[in-house]
Chains A and B, each alone.
Chain A
């Protein structure tokens, strides 16, 4: 198993535990190299991660895999489920016209990551062997 696949497996295991605590189905996890992400869209290599609600998938940049990013993207998964899997309700279009940090769902995701990183730090470290 390659290094990237091994890390992807570990993040999947971590997210599976978090999802079990929150009582929801786990999103799919995919890790890609910056080069692969650049092929998704221009500038993709500089994005730490994003959530694809259509596929219920968290896509992570292998260069920026850390607990805060993973929890941030996971918060978007919870937002989507909470909305009854209604993308327009979870991520309203009018919010998308605002700067990234001013969008309600992004602020909430940031708050979620900040609130839970302490709780999940040991689990994260144990599974992934990463300090951050």
Chain B
């Protein structure tokens, strides 16, 4: 296996891990009840989610460098899901809306399940 292939495999696994972490944090938020969480605790959640989202941002933005054979169309889908989920997370926090929070969770989960399809190597 070449270093480039290793890099791609590593990128995919770190991306999945970061998305798993986001999903996990959203689940915790939902189980605690978003509406009940305030002040420092809410800021803590926001910071943790921001941390994992910046990792996901960096990985998705550079995916076409780290995974050369990535399907461009699928990559665009990942990018648009990421954009929507970030917007929904922001909205969910602002409005304290659990329905929007759940939408963000579904979008994050969709991204995670979509990674293998996006990384399907194209015939060359």
Contact = CB atoms under 8 A, between A and B. Distances in A.
Interface stretch (B60-68, B87-95, B99-107, B115-123): B60-68
A22 B65 contact: yes
Interface string B36-69: 0000000000000010001111110110011010
A4 interface: no
B57 A22 contact: no
A115 B14 contact: yes
Interface centre among A17, A20, A108, A109 (most CB of B within 10 A): A108
Interface in B66-85: 66, 68
Interface in B1-42: 3-4, 6-7, 10-11, 14, 18
B4 A21 contact: yes
B92 to A, nearest CB: 20
Most chain B beta-carbon contacts within 10 A, residue among A82, A110, A115: A115
Tell me the interface secondary structure of chain B in the complex. helix
A114 B57 CA distance: 12
B7 A119 contact: yes
Interface in A65-121: 75, 78-79, 82, 104, 107-112, 114-116, 118-119
A131 to B, nearest CB: 21
A98 to B, nearest CB: 14
A107 B54 CA distance: 6
A111 B53 CA distance: 8
Contact of A115 (B3, B6, B18, B65): B18
B67 to A, nearest CB: 10
A110 B52 CA distance: 11
A107 B57 contact: yes
Given A78-B62, A82-B62, A115-B14, A21 B7 contact: yes
B59 A115 contact: yes
A112 B62 CA distance: 9
20 contacts: A20-B3, A22-B7, A22-B66, A23-B4, A23-B68, A78-B65, A104-B57, A107-B57, A108-B58, A109-B58, A110-B58, A111-B54, A112-B58, A112-B59, A115-B14, A115-B18, A115-B58, A116-B14, A118-B14, A119-B6
Given A82-B62, A112-B59, 12 more contacts: A17-B3, A21-B3, A21-B7, A23-B4, A24-B65, A82-B61, A107-B57, A108-B61, A112-B58, A114-B58, A115-B59, A118-B14
